[in-house]
Amino acid sequence: MSSLWNSVLKLRPQIKQFTVPVRNLNLLEYQSKHLLRKNGVAVQDFCMIDEKGCSEFEKFNVKEYVIKAQILAGGRGKGHFSNGFKGGVHVTTSRKDVDSISKQMLGYNLITKQTPKDGIEVKKIMIAESVTIKRETYVCILMDRQRNGPVLIASPAGGVDIEAVAEKTPHLIKNIPIDIFEGVTDSMANEVAQFLEFKGPLTNLAAVEIKKLWQFFLAVDATQLEINPLVETDENKVISVDAKINFDDNAQFRHKDIFALEDLAESDPREVEAAKHNLNYIGMTGNIGCLVNGAGLAMATMDIIKLHGGDPANFLDVGGSVKEEQVRAAFNILTADKTVRCILVNVFGGIVNCATIANGIVGAMKSMNLKVPLIVRLEGTNATEARRIIKESGLDIQTAEDLDDAAKKAVANAV
Ligand code: ADP
Ligand code: MG
């Protein structure tokens, strides 16, 4: 999703209720832990089990195992499965139990406070080395819009219910703004470690981990790095036991390897298909499929459709440098949605050449059997040529005089 669309969704939250969530890269815990380990942050050893089996587990021998269902949501410890099984995080010393517990997780939906109501299917399970936890603390670094920069949030009362801590005992949470140029200094890391109630030599150990987390946050262009819990073990170690990282989509070009890890199984398939063609797909609840160029024009299109009593089913934003092939892909995505009763193309050609869009539309129409009415409004660069292309194609395309006329026709055709 482009940053422009992200901003639009922030400004117009009413759109968000109708849409799939904004697509920020979000990794599963095991992927986050691989990255953390690579950057020197202390995490436990672990191996993975999926529906294909557990070849890694055969070689993985530790005293006690933690079995953790991998989904893109937190609150797993207190969650439950669609088959009634309780808890997405289990601890056992028996290898047999690892097997039976995994079987009750794999392929079932895990429902937690943070998932949709039907939960999310578990396709992978992490088997980690258990650590004996003496204390659980909370550390999070995030980009804070209000403070225009990164903020470190810390609490000595970490664990599964940080939301309750924030609500009931806010004095146990500290927010510390970080100067982006200075970063997390030694004295700041020490102060946080002490606030987290690490004592004696553990204070320094915790401070070192906090600085590593900051270095990692910077290195990967994260927008959020949440460690809950950051634990103190009975062996006097400080370990990140759970990790949630969000990455800045605008820095994707710097982190192709990280973005390649994205598991698209939980994303809207239309959005995924659109992204493949460099298009932005925004799903909504109405029945008019809209192909537009630019987030601003999409908003105007939505307003004018609503003004005339209609409701958009979606927006496909073809952006500024669209090619014919992308228009064809856009049409395929729009028409695959069975709720779409008519398609409205609303393009204002500034950088976009309207003739390119017209050729794309004509090409797409010829190669597919479009069953819904199509209304086209093309204005701006090369609009006259575009109208000629559409007219001479002989295809059943309704053209519109202006945006108002286009919206009226779309609403009338969407019944
Ligand atoms: P979630 O936040 O999704 O519930 P966590 O990874 O934080 O998942 O696990 C929940 C709780 O399970 C932790 O707060 C901790 O008490 C316990 N736990 C998780 N991993 C381990 C481990 N490796 N060893 C011991 N206990 C663990
Ligand atoms: Mg957690």
194 versus 268: the higher-pLDDT residue is 194
pTM above 0.95, yes or no: no
CB of 91 closer than 6 A to ligand 1?
A: yes
d(CA 345, CA 173): 50
pLDDT at 83 over 60: yes
- Give the pLDDT confidence score for residue 409 in this predicted structure: 96
Question: What letter represents residue 43's amino acid?
Answer: V
Return the CATH number of the domain spanning residue range 133-257: 3.30.470.20
Q: Percentage of residues in the chain with pLDDT exceeding 70?
A: 92
Does the structure show a pLDDT above 50 at 18? no
Catalytic residues: 138, 226
Enter the tokens of residue 326.
């992308």
> Which ligand 1 atom lies nearest to the CA of residue 64?
24
- First vs last Cα of the chain: how many Å apart? 30
Which residue's alpha carbon is nearest to atom 23 within ligand 1?
130
- Give the bridge partners for 342, in sequence order: 288
Return the ∠ at Cα 172 (arms to 170 and 178), rounded to 5°: 95
Q: Name the CA radius of gyration of the chain, rounded.
A: 26
As a whole number of angstroms, the distance between CA 163 and CA 113 comes to 11
What SS3 class is residue 62?
A: coil
Residues 379, 377: Cα–Cα separation, whole Å: 7
CA distance 253 to 264: 18
Lowest-pLDDT range of 131-135, 266-270, 271-275, 322-326:
266-270
| Residue owning the nearest CA to atom 11 of ligand 1 | 77
- Please tell me the distance between residue 186's alpha carbon and the centre of ligand 1 in angstroms: 28
Q: Return the SS3 of 405.
A: helix
Please check the confidence at residue 14 and state whether its pLDDT lies above 90.
no
Token readout for 224 is: 């959020």
Helix (H) or strand (E) holding 217: helix 201-219
Helix (H, G, I), strand (E, B) or coil at 156: coil
Interval 66-79: pLDDT, tens? 999 999 988 999 99
Q: How many CB atoms lie within 10 A of CB 406?
A: 25
pLDDT given at position 200: 95
What is the whole-number distance in angstroms between the Cα of residue 168 and the centre of ligand 2?
A: 19
Closest C-alpha to ligand 1, atom 7: 242
For residue 21, pLDDT beyond 70: no
Query: Whole-number mean pLDDT of the chain?
Result: 89
Ligand 1 contacts CB of residue 226 (under 6 A): no
* 8 Å CB contact between 355 and 386: yes
Mean pLDDT of 349-370: 87
d(CA 183, CA 211): 9
pLDDT > 90? residue 179: yes
Strands lying side by side in the sheet with 120-121: 80-81, 109-111, 120-121
Cα separation, 26 vs 159, whole angstroms: 21
Phi, psi of 79 (to 5 degrees): -85, 180
Pocket test for ligand 1, best of 65, 241, 245 (most atoms within 8 A of CB): 241
From ligand 2's centre to the CA of 92, what distance in Å? Answer: 18
Indicate whether residue 131 lines ligand 1 (CB < 6 A).
yes
Peptide bond into 229 cis (omega under 30): yes
User: Does residue 73's CB lie within 6 angstroms of at least one atom of ligand 1?
Assistant: no
Residue 169 has pLDDT above 80, yes or no: yes
DSSP 3-state of 61: coil
Which residue puts its alpha carbon closest to atom 10 of ligand 1?
Answer: 77
Class of domain 7-20+265-414: alpha beta
- Whether 25 has a pLDDT exceeding 50, the answer reads yes
Q: Are strands 124-129 and 65-70 parallel, antiparallel or unpaired?
A: antiparallel
Decide whether any atom of ligand 1 lies within 6 Å of the 62 Cβ. no
In the chain, where the domains are located:
7-20+265-414, 45-130, 133-257
- Rounded to whole angstroms, how far apart are CA atoms 31 and 44? 13
Give the pLDDT confidence score for residue 10 in this predicted structure: 58
Rounded CA-CA distance 269/103 in Å is: 27
Structural tokens at position 128:
């980690």
pLDDT confidence of residue 249: 85
Angle between helices 269-276 and 324-336 (to 10 degrees): 170
138: number of CA atoms within 13 Å, CB side? 18
Whole-number pLDDT of residue 22:
44
CA 334-22-28 angle, to 5 degrees, is 115
In this prediction, residue 266 has a pLDDT band, given cuts at 50, 70 and 90, of: low
Q: Which is the CATH superfamily of the domain at 45-130? A: ATP-grasp fold, A domain (3.30.1490.20)
State which residues have CB under 5 angstroms from ligand 2, the bound ion. Answer: 228, 242
**Ligand 1 site, residue 184, Cβ cutoff 6 A:** no
How many Å apart are CA 319 and CA 297, to the nearest integer?
10
Residue 250 among known ligand-binding residues: no
* Ligand 1 atom 14 nearest Cα: 159
Q: Sign of the C-alpha dihedral, residues 127, 132, 138, 143?
A: negative
If you average pLDDT over residues 199-222, what whole number do you get?
Answer: 97
Q: Which atom of ligand 1 is nearest to the CA of 74?
A: 3
**Hey, what amino acid is at 304?**
I
For residue 79 and ligand 1, the question of a CB distance below 6 A is answered with no
